[in-house]
Structure 1
Amino acid sequence: MLRRVLAWAAAALIGVALGVGSAWATLEFGRAGFIEHYGSWAHSRAAGSQAAGPYTRAIIARDGLLALSAREALYFTLYEDEEGRPLDESCVYDLSGPPLAARWWSVTLYDADNYLVRNNDHAGSIDASRIGLDSMWSVRVSPVRGNAPHWLSSRAAGRDFSLTLRVYNPHRDFRASAETLPRLTTLSCAGEA
């Protein structure tokens, strides 16, 4: 009798371990299955989709993205510079782009934990209402503003921060590509010669 109880307990523990392990693996590695890349920008085609299954919804919830439908907004995230290096607070970047075929857009800087950066600079996001919808634009991404007219503060963001571009009510002719999305250029990094 004791042998049978121990066998059931062992089987239950193995089942729980396999279930937890498979759920963790799906959440950790499954997001690559619905990510599209446009240059350095990553876009989740499942974000905001009503067809998203339970695993997809769990992945999106884990990342903290409360997404609108694709007709209402498209979300693009940048984690690396043009050389494939993680974005770093010690660097100064220029983010520039053409007009975006949308009703409105914004770019927000998040720390490695996907939270807004905790500093008092009040420069965590930039949007079309400050820059304009119909012209080329440029934003400095750095820990100090300097003489930049438009600035996203990376002070206290550390290493591995990200930039999220939200394109609201994209026009029918909006097509995401490396050419139509903003381009990030590294201007300098502290400690480099």
Structure 2
Amino acid sequence: MRLVFITLLALIIASGIGLGSTYMTATQGTDLGTLKIGAWTARPKSGTSDIDPYSRATIARNGELPIGTGDGVAFTANTDDKDKPLDGRCDVVVSGVTPAARFWTLTLYDTKGQLVANTLQRYGFTSQEVIRGADGTFEVRMASRSRAGNWLPTGGIERYTLMLRLYDTPVGVATRTQRDAPMPQVATVGCP
């Protein structure tokens, strides 16, 4: 009887650990195949047949439609370059240049993956509409109140995510450093 009890207990513990770790990887993701440059993180293999099973489970759970490798790559940022979480009550500036791409978009999402509601219905910028400096650099400011230039309203939400999608770009699986892909800087510049 004792052997049966110990066997059942071991199976229950193993099942709990297995299901718990599966839930954690499906909801939090893993670092397998992850490309991290500054505050930006991408999973270039997520749109390929070489995707790892954990990323596949995360995509199935979230209902995302990843960008195929031949089409481009999507980078997300949840923090600034100093690892401070992006706060909608603060002014955050994304500035600099992007890697070579035919077209790019920068979009603001809440932590649930929904567009941030605002009265202007302004959710992002594209490479064709962003105002640039004479040297080709740009600056997009995320803030709860109106700002001059390229401004995205945060609605004052506590946390948000930025997504930079690069279409028709050489950035991908072989990219490893800021030198390979010059990503825009993300900086918190003002907070009440």
> TM-score, normalization: structure 2?
0.79
Q: 2:106 touches 2:125 (CA, 8 Å); kept in 1?
A: yes
Kept in 2, the 8 Å contact 1:91–1:189? The answer is yes
Cα shift at 1:176: 6.8
- In structure 2, give the amino acid aligned to 1:164: M
> Is 1:143–2:107 an aligned residue pair?
no
Alignment of 1:4-19 (within 5 A): 17=16, 19=18
RMSD over equivalenced CA pairs, Å: 3.3
Contact persistence 1:73–1:169 (CA under 8 A): yes
Checking the alignment, whether the CA contact within 8 Å between 2:99 and 2:171 is kept in structure 1 is no
Q: Are residues 171 and 110 of structure 1, via their aligned partners in 2, closer, same or farther at CA, if it must alter by over 3 Å?
A: same
Q: State the SS of the aligned residue for 2:19.
A: helix
CA separation in 1, counterparts of 2:82 and 2:54?
A: 32
* Worse-superposed segment, 78-87 or 16-25: 16-25
Map residues 19-168 of structure 1 onto 2, 5 A cutoff: 19-28=18-27, 30-98=29-97, 100-131=99-130, 135-146=136-147, 148-159=148-159, 161-168=160-167
CA positional deviation for 1:62: 3.0
- Measure, in 2, the Cα distance between the counterparts of 1:172 and 1:187: 28
Q: Which one is further off, 126-135 or 81-90?
A: 126-135
Post-superposition shift, 1:95?
A: 1.1
Q: Which runs of 5+ in 1 are unaligned?
A: 1-5
**What is the one-letter code of the residue matched to 1:186?**
T
Contact between 1:64 and 1:114, CA under 8 Å: does it hold in 2?
A: no
Contact 2:42 2:76 in 1 (8 A): yes
Amino acid across the alignment from 1:137 = F
Distance 1:88 1:79 in 2: 9
Q: 1:3 matched to which residue of 2?
A: none
User: For residues 123 and 169 of structure 1, what CA distance do their matches in structure 2 show?
Assistant: 24
CA distance in 1, matches of 2:152, 2:84: 19
Per-residue CA distance 1:31-65 (angstroms, 9 max, x = gap) = 22222210111111222012224432112233443
Structure 1: distance between partners of 2:157 and 2:83: 18
The residue type paired with residue 166 of structure 2 is V
Residues 1:188 and 2:190 aligned together: yes
Distance 1:175 1:115, change over 3 A: same
Cα 1:104–1:176 shift into 2, 3 Å: farther
Q: In 2 relative to 1, CA 50–137 (structure 1 residues): closer, same or farther, beyond 3 Å?
A: same
Task: Say if 2:30 and 2:54, in contact at 8 Å, map to a contact too.
Answer: no
TM-score by structure 1 length?
0.79
Give the residue type in structure 2 aligned to 1:144.
R
